[in-house]
Structure 1
Amino acid sequence: MTAKLCHLVPQKKAILVSLCISVVLMLAKFGAYFMTHSNAILTDAAESIVNVLASGFAFYSIYLATLPKDENHPYGHGKVEFFSAFVEGILIAIAGLIIVFKSGYDLVFPREIKQLFEGAVIIGATGIINMLVGFYLINTGKKHRSITLEADGKHLMTDAITSAGLVVGIILIQLTQIFWLDSVISILLGLYIIYNGYKLTRRSVGGLMDESNMELVKDIVSILQENRQESWIDVHNLRAQQYGADLHIDCHITLPYYYDLNQVHHEISAIDQMINVNAEHTTELFIHADPCLPACCNYCKMKNCEVRQEAFQKEIPWTVDNATKNQKHFDQ
């Protein structure tokens, strides 16, 4: 258990860095807004409030994800990360809506804006910092399979992109002196923010609804195919789910029907060990053993099988398509 908690320390460190930097950048952006009275800069500042709230909630969710399994949570607490990403996506979308409505109002009733060059410098600097922190969170999240870190990192990358667009827009306004462009740029950035909030929410809902992790399924099928044994006649009904840093896989494997319980246990243990040696992260497997049927003989490679009723014809390669279906491969 101690080893697992140590494994998750980088996640806590990464999200704490994000939280502290988000607070500093939020203050800087609001300073730029009060200096310029630019709606476009207010757009960026408002999204920074979401950054701070999301990072705070993400820190708490990662803390929960590090808690060990207990009687009430036999699969651990990692699924809270999907909820965290869902909340972050909703907050992003709400911020985008507020930005669009506020900018629409100021497009009709414009306000004087000033010191745009100084504001652009501040926003540009915050954008560069957000980009660097975003890369750091995304890489750490992928390394430790944390959807919360990935979500927060992608949010900061979105913020960096909007900041870059904002700087270009401010320079354009300064050169053309067309000040209503400020609200137009803000509306466009607000719509972009709403779209990214939707994408993040969609992914988190998929996790909460136990949507199968197809990238993980592809990796597992590839490992099984590369290391398959002649007694593993076929693998089907393979499913994979992620709960925070914990991976759960269940599948059915067809074995010779005359194997006794000790042989079945040996084969299943061999698959479990093989997955955990070759996969990137420790995985919990639930494997159901099916007995072979006469219709399996044509693709079964068991040598010297005394009960074979049909000669071996060809091996059926295991793919995502046939390994995930709930049927033996002779039904394909």
Structure 2
Amino acid sequence: MQINQNKLKQRLILLSFVASVLLTGLKFFAYYITSSNAILSDALESIINVIASGFAFYSIYLSAQPKDRNHPYGHGKVEFFSAGFEGALIVIAALFIVIEAIKRLAEPAPIQNLAEGSIFIAFTILVNTAIGYKLLSEGKKVNSLALVADGRHLMSDSVSSLVLVLSVGLIILTGYTWIDSAASLLFGIFLTYNGSQLVSKSVAGLMDASDENLLDTVVKTLKANKKPDWIDVHNLRVQQYGSDMHIDCHVTMPYYWELQKVHETIHNFEDILKGSFVGETEIFVHADPCLYQCCYFCRIPDCPVRQHEFVQDIEWDAANLTKNEKLYHEAKINIQE
């Protein structure tokens, strides 16, 4: 299953790379026949598509490599680096586009053959939208930041190209050539925002920042499958590296259980989590023995060592489960000692 996912990711990113090369050539041809600064901006940004797709292909290939002695957690983090690299290239290209647009506003130049050039750009919009949507949808399915980043880049390229075509239409209707440079300037600002968003997400991933959506998914899975034997779950940590998921936590179980029963319970706990995610899921569980305070929210029937009657459940949410302490500290119960 994992091998098939990696092959799919490599095929998709290779498709993106080949399409980016062809469409970049088409955009430069459109600039050649029009001398439009906005079209040149779009073509220059497409060079970033080519470089980024090539690097993303390498990162996906590398992230698919098995764990080794030097990389015990695998190579999935390279996808964060790939997204950051792509974002940085987008910002650099955007700054160049903004500078050129300002220069052209100050010193206008003649524009020609806009209708013909727009036809070529319209074709690139259709191709980029189709490929970008495919990369986005598949990237989300397999949790690949490299695919998602490249897909968003292509989709944003389509949006900016659409704005470009509309600006060309306005120039044809009004005759105001300054619209060309103004559109290029807005395009550059739009790209700067998109690039900075990619860089920000890349840095967050490399710094192991919490993914709140991913954490919520894990918490919902635990709540939906909660067993009486799982007296308490705490110190929960979740990280996504490429397609690989890493989860570790502490699970409180009866202190009098034999090791074999503890092992079986942890194995069942892991299987439930693994069955809820696509890709390889690595889970480390630390078994904690229960304390007498746990009796107040423990639902194990006929417990031979119970010291207190069950009173109430404690809410399993992200705030509680991520704390490095047993949940009885959060219980709204007056414990009589």
- Give the TM-score normalised by structure 1: 0.96
Letter of the 1:73 partner, please give it: H
Partners of 1:320 and 1:56 in 2: CA distance: 38
Q: 1:196 offset after TM fit, Å?
A: 0.2
Q: Which residue of 2 aligns with 1:261?
A: 259
Q: Which residue of 2 aligns with 1:145?
A: 143
Q: 1:302 offset after TM fit, Å?
A: 1.6
Partners of 1:192 and 1:146 in 2: CA distance: 24
Q: 1:80 offset after TM fit, Å?
A: 0.6
**Seq. identity, %:** 49
Q: 1:123 offset after TM fit, Å?
A: 1.0
Partners of 2:329 and 2:313 in 1: CA distance: 14
What secondary structure sits across from 1:288 in the alignment?
strand
Contact 1:220/1:279, CA 8 A, preserved across alignment:
no
What secondary structure sits across from 2:70 in the alignment?
coil
Contact 2:233/2:251, CA 8 A, preserved across alignment:
yes
Partners of 1:279 and 1:79 in 2: CA distance: 18
Q: Which residue of 2 aligns with 1:309?
A: 307
Q: Which residue of 2 aligns with 1:170?
A: 168
Q: 1:220 offset after TM fit, Å?
A: 1.7
Contact 2:2/2:280, CA 8 A, preserved across alignment:
no
Contact 2:101/2:184, CA 8 A, preserved across alignment:
yes
| Matches for 1:152-163 after TM superposition, within 5 Å | 152-163=150-161
| Matches for 1:102-121 after TM superposition, within 5 Å | 102-121=100-119
- Give the TM-score normalised by structure 2: 0.95
What secondary structure sits across from 2:275 in the alignment?
helix
What secondary structure sits across from 1:70 in the alignment?
coil
Contact 1:138/1:149, CA 8 A, preserved across alignment:
yes
Q: Which residue of 2 aligns with 1:204?
A: 202
Letter of the 2:163 partner, please give it: G
Alpha-carbon RMSD across the aligned residues, in angstroms, is: 1.2
Provide structure 2 residue ranges, at least 5 long, that are not aligned to the other structure. 331-337
Contact 2:65/2:75, CA 8 A, preserved across alignment:
yes
Partners of 1:319 and 1:277 in 2: CA distance: 20
Deviations 1:249-297 (A, max 9, x none): 0111111122232222121111011222233343110111112122211
Q: 1:309 offset after TM fit, Å?
A: 2.2
Q: Which residue of 2 aligns with 1:42?
A: 40
User: How many residues are aligned here?
Assistant: 330
Deviations 1:127-157 (A, max 9, x none): 1110111001111211222110110000000
Partners of 1:181 and 1:282 in 2: CA distance: 51
Contact 1:235/1:323, CA 8 A, preserved across alignment:
yes
